[in-house]
A and B are shown apart, each in its own frame.
Chain A
Amino acid sequence: MNMQLQGKVYPPYRLRPDRALAAKMFAGQGLAGAPAEVPPTYFIYLRGETRGVNLFVDLDIPRDRALQAGQRYEWFAPIGWDDEVEVTARIAKLTEKQSKSGKLWFADIELEYRTLPQRTLALRETTRIVKRG
Chain B
Amino acid sequence: MSALKPGDVIFDEARPGASREQLALFSAGTEDPNLVHTDDAFAKRCGFHTVLQQGPMTTAHFGLLLAARFGARLKSLDVTFTAPVFVGDPLRLLAKVESVGDEIVVALGAAKPDGTQTARGIATIRP
User: Which residue numbers of A lie inside 8 Å of B, CB to CB?
Assistant: 21-31, 37, 39-41, 44, 46-47, 49-50, 63-75, 78
Contact = CB atoms under 8 A, between A and B. Distances in A.
B80 A25 contact: no
Contacts of B26: 24-25, 27-29
Given A28-B23, A73-B76, A47 B30 contact: yes
Interface of A, secondary structure class, is mixed
Given A29-B64, A31-B64, A64-B42, 11 more contacts: A24-B26, A25-B29, A29-B15, A39-B60, A40-B64, A41-B56, A64-B45, A70-B78, A72-B77, A73-B76, A73-B78
A24 B81 contact: no
B54 to A, nearest CB: 8
B51 interface: no
Nearest to B26: A28
A72 B78 contact: yes
Contact of B15 (A26, A30, A46, A75): A30
A46 B25 contact: no
B88 interface: no
B67 to A, nearest CB: 5
Nearest to B22: A28
A49 B59 CA distance: 20
Interface-central residue, A23, A50, A64, by most chain B CB under 10 Å: A64
Nearest to A68: B55
Interface string B5-29: 0000000000110100011111111
A71 B31 contact: no
B16 A30 contact: yes
A109 to B, nearest CB: 13
Contacts of B36: 63-64
A72 B76 contact: yes
B49 interface: no
B29 A21 contact: yes
A63 B27 CA distance: 14
